[in-house]
Amino acid sequence: MFVNSILNMFKKIILVVTILLCQFICLAQTEDSIAIKKISDEVLSNGKAYENLRFICKKIGPRLSGSVQAQKAVEATAKMLKDGGADTVYLQPCMVPHWVRGEKENGFVQVANNEKYLLHLCSLGNSEGTGKKGISAGVVEARSFKELEQIGAAVIKGKIVFLNFPMNPTYVHTFRAYGESGISRWAGASKAASYGAIGVMVRSLASNADDFPHTGVMAYNDSFPKIPAVAISTNDAEWLSKQLKLKTPLTASFTNTSKMLADTISYNVVGEIRGSEFPQQIITVGGHLDSWDLAEGAQDDGAGCMQSIEVLRTLKAAGIKPKRTIRAVMFMNEENGGGGSKAYLQNAKQQKEQQIFALESDAGGFTPRGFNLDMSSQKEQVVKEWSSLFFPYGVYDFNEKGSGSDVGPLKEIGTALAGLQTDSQRYFDIHHAETDVFEAVSKRELDLGALNMAALIWLVSEYGL
């Protein structure tokens, strides 16, 4: 009888505690919802990201590392951070490669009847040039490195290799397809050179058929000759592949005058709001300021930079005081070297900074769908418990892994990482192509990304990880 009474008493205590805990959680979530609604209203009513992006794209334009335009963008974004209310704004030096495209590339394929098919092409980033005389040779197609190996040096020597690695259309997550096919662009030149090729043409990493060549970084293996590398449009790749299947003799020719100059100094642009309770704990949010030189770099990654500046501006404008220090970083040189991310990590290590969380936006300013996470399972669970707070703003997916190439190195010092996940179905229509312009960005989509980023940054600032 006595034991039953004790058990009943414990059950009542547990019930009361459970009810109180549920009420506390509900109250906390209600308060969090109110704060996030305040953030949302500020971004959607008074957001500056779109107009800041217009300035970067139209007044400055392409921002290739080492260029005059890149330095102008450094100065412009520093001012944007100051105007947005950052407590501190400073430049963080970093060494970056200085590659120049040179004169506009040209190329064609000459078929058996001496007709010339003009190619839509562009040099790959960091590629050596052909010189003004160009190169001309027969073409060998390969759809994988394994196939290239099977063809062998006896056939490839003295030829131009055509690497035709289409992005897999069956992947709904287009970044997965990009990751698989990207090896052709990154390592294709040295792989082809190892079999004696004199040049390489790479199928553009694009989701759809079009006439716009997509550039992007490539790297050389110093064990082999540094042969020139260009990308051709997906339409041209399809045409060329069909011609080669007909077994008719053809010759490809192209000219590019690109070259690599000596490394030069540039800067990450950093703006901070100092934390009110735990200022030593740092939360980083950022995108990369540099872009390729074919267009304005609006989606890649002007959008991510302007969203990151908007996070700081919004919290200041809404009168929200973060408990932890929030730092917006415009990383330099993501596209062809990673100099900015290396400098940021090195500085964090030297200063023994407590970098508790870092969020990157480098998937374009499209409609946000979720956040990719790269952190311990315990911290991941904390973030996922906040997921219902994001449902009203269109974000629901917290299950993909990953973060971004600029914040990624911070994993070395134990930082929890995340990346804004957007609807990427249109991203590889414009990625690294001349179509990446301001007009391709929707203000509404850009702002939705910024408000969800600001909400997540605020939650981490409020509760830690």
Helix (H, G, I), strand (E, B) or coil at 442: coil
**Cis preceding-peptide flag for 290 (omega within 30 of 0):** no
pLDDT of amino acid 24? 46
Give the pLDDT confidence of 377-399 residue by residue, as tens digits.
999 999 999 999 999 999 999 99
Q: Per-residue pLDDT tens for 179-212?
A: 999 999 999 999 999 999 999 999 999 999 999 9
Quick check: 406 pLDDT over 70?
A: yes
Q: Which residue is catalytic, options 141, 310, 334, 380?
A: 334
- Give the C-alpha separation, 227 to 130, whole Å: 8
Res. 30 pLDDT band, cuts 50 70 90: confident
* 154-169 pLDDT tens trace: 999 999 999 999 999 9
Query: What is the layout of strands, in order, in the sheet containing 135-142?
Result: 116-118, 106-110, 251-255, 135-142, 160-163, 199-203, 229-232, 121-123
342-386 pLDDT, tens digit per residue, is: 999 999 999 999 999 999 999 999 999 999 999 999 999 999 999
* Structure tokens belonging to residue 6: 């004790």
51 is annotated as an active-site residue: no
- The answer to whether residues 89 and 256 touch, using CB atoms and an 8 Å cutoff, is no
Contacts of 245 (CB under 8 A, 6+ apart): none
